[in-house]
Amino acid sequence: MATPLLEARNVVKHYGHVQALRGADFDVSAGEIVALIGDNGAGKSTLVKILSGAGHPDAGEILLEGTPVTLATPVDAQRHGIETVYQDLALAPDLDGAANLYLGREVCRPGVLGKLGFLDKKTMRDGAREAFGELGVDLQNALTAVANLSGGQRQSVAVARSVAWASKVVFLDEPTAALGVVQTGRVLDVIRRIRDRGVAVVLVSHNMPEVLGVADRVEVLRLGRRVATFRAADSTVETLVGAMTGALDTRDGAA
């Protein structure tokens, strides 16, 4: 069996007297879309925060390509090729798509002007067009402020920004929430393109039909533990909901 790209083993996390994770396991391989599902309070957000450097486990270990790692901060996770798109997108609405793509990673002009802080906007716009083009993100005007884009376009910009810098794993937290049917379809196409580039995608979603339509594999959390793993192609909405709620009696890895 191939070594997972990113793996959590027996992760425990407490918030005061509340135990959010009770020995949770998780794994995702390169070029794979894994959906992480569970009811509210199952521990999904906590596990994603730990795997993306925004939280720290009280026990357990995180492995990257089979080697234990410490992800002390989100920046530390980024250095390891791990990026996250949160539900609020974290975009600068008054900036255009290219400026958002390079937000925090701006390219300065060469020579004296660069030392004075002048940005190389042409290089960033050219890089943004290439990044958007590779993922099929259609922005009619790359200079349009993000605030004037549709919901699906904003979501695609946020995803493209992460993919542009992620070499290993992208976490997507409810990437199609509040989007229409057409916009949702476009975002899911972007997710498939990420997978096809060999990057691992972890999709956190409550939309079961969407999960089954885009994921290769589904991992189910309940009460802070992984309780089931399914191949999406062999599963139904009823099976996933049963595992989430405990109505389906299944053991980790048995499904």
pLDDT in tens, 110-164: 998 888 888 998 998 888 888 888 777 777 776 789 999 888 788 888 888 888 8
Can you give the residue range of the structural domain that contains 209? 6-81+166-245
What CATH number is given to the structural domain containing 229? 3.40.50.300
**φ, ψ at 77 (rounded to 5°):** -65, -40
What is the rounded CA–CA span in Å between residue 169 and residue 142? 26
User: What pTM was computed for the model?
Assistant: 0.84
Residue 131 lies in a domain: no
Task: Please provide the size of the chain in residues.
Answer: 255
List pLDDT tens digits, range 79-99. Answer: 999 999 887 778 899 999 889
Segment 162-181 mean pLDDT: 84
* CA dihedral (245, 248, 251, 255) positive or negative: negative
**DSSP helix/strand/coil, 157:** helix
CA dihedral 144→147→150→155, nearest 10 degrees, is 100
Number of domain units in the chain: 1
